[in-house]
Amino acid sequence: MKSIRHMENVQRLVVKIGTSSLIHANGKINLQAIDQLSYTLTGLVNEGKQVILVSSGAIGVGMGQLGLAKRPREIQAQQALASIGQSELMTVYQQRFAVYGQKISQILLTHDVLDFPESRKHVHHTMEQLLEWGVIPVVNENDTVAVDELDHRTKFGDNDQLSAIVATRSNADLLVMLSDIDGFYTKNPHKFADAKLIDVLHEITESSLRQAGGAGTELGTGGMVTKLKAAQSILANNKMMVLANGANPSIIFKIMNNEPLGTLFVNAQKDEGKEVI
């Protein structure tokens, strides 16, 4: 039996969309998905919601621009591809959001920016101002400079973690994570016909993490484990997260209308007590 969801009082949400939802298998940009995403997020802003978009895809778009079928392993090559792809990706976003009259901005982050109080404060104030103006910040990791070197941590690791950090630091009520899978299953649905979609999960256990093993796609960096770790952070901050299929980003409208799609991650007390944010 599907649970009753309570999204009525969600005022601020973070939407994270993965590379697999933005880039076709042939490396070309999925213009239909980006158009649907732009239409949907603009619709939410028009309803009075504050929306932050965490978008992957820079390296994938860069690969498509250069006709590369395989993601290079060399850091400098990945960073160069991100430099090419981020510019192209933002151009497409700018064009599609403009069709619906929605203003967007770009925020590129590294981990150290959010680790240091002064720079974290400036990012927070910038984002708050943008949201107050009704602008959608488009956030991505600054892949061109983000690396892990000794004790100088700049890299988030993947945009699943980044989206959870952005959601908790911005005090968002909800994180909607769009991926290439319908949600979290009892076992791998690509391998087992009897795999069942889990409607609601109240905690992330070691068993859940083991069950979620496996890497992401050739174009992306994430997998189910990174999504569960993001959910752990969301639950620790008493917020909500929905993991759903991003093939048609307008699914966000249905999620916000309490349709039981994807997997909802929510603390048991919030779920059982029907506490609304």
Annotated binding-site ranges for substrate: 56, 143, 159
Q: Are 46 and 275 in contact (CB under 8 A)?
A: no
**Annotated binding-site members for ATP:** 16, 179-180, 221-227
The DSSP output letter for 202 is: S
Q: Are 45 and 6 in contact (CB under 8 A)?
A: no
The beta-carbon contacts of 99-102 under 8 Å, at least 24 apart in sequence, are 99/35, 99/38, 100/38, 100/39, 100/42, 101/42, 102/38, 102/41, 102/42, 102/45, 102/136
Q: Are 204 and 235 in contact (CB under 8 A)?
A: yes
Q: Give SS3 for 261.
A: coil
Q: Please give the helix or strand (H or E) that residue 137 lies within, else none.
A: strand 136-141
**Annotated binding-site members:** 16, 56, 143, 159, 179-180, 221-227
Structure tokens belonging to residue 176: 């909607």
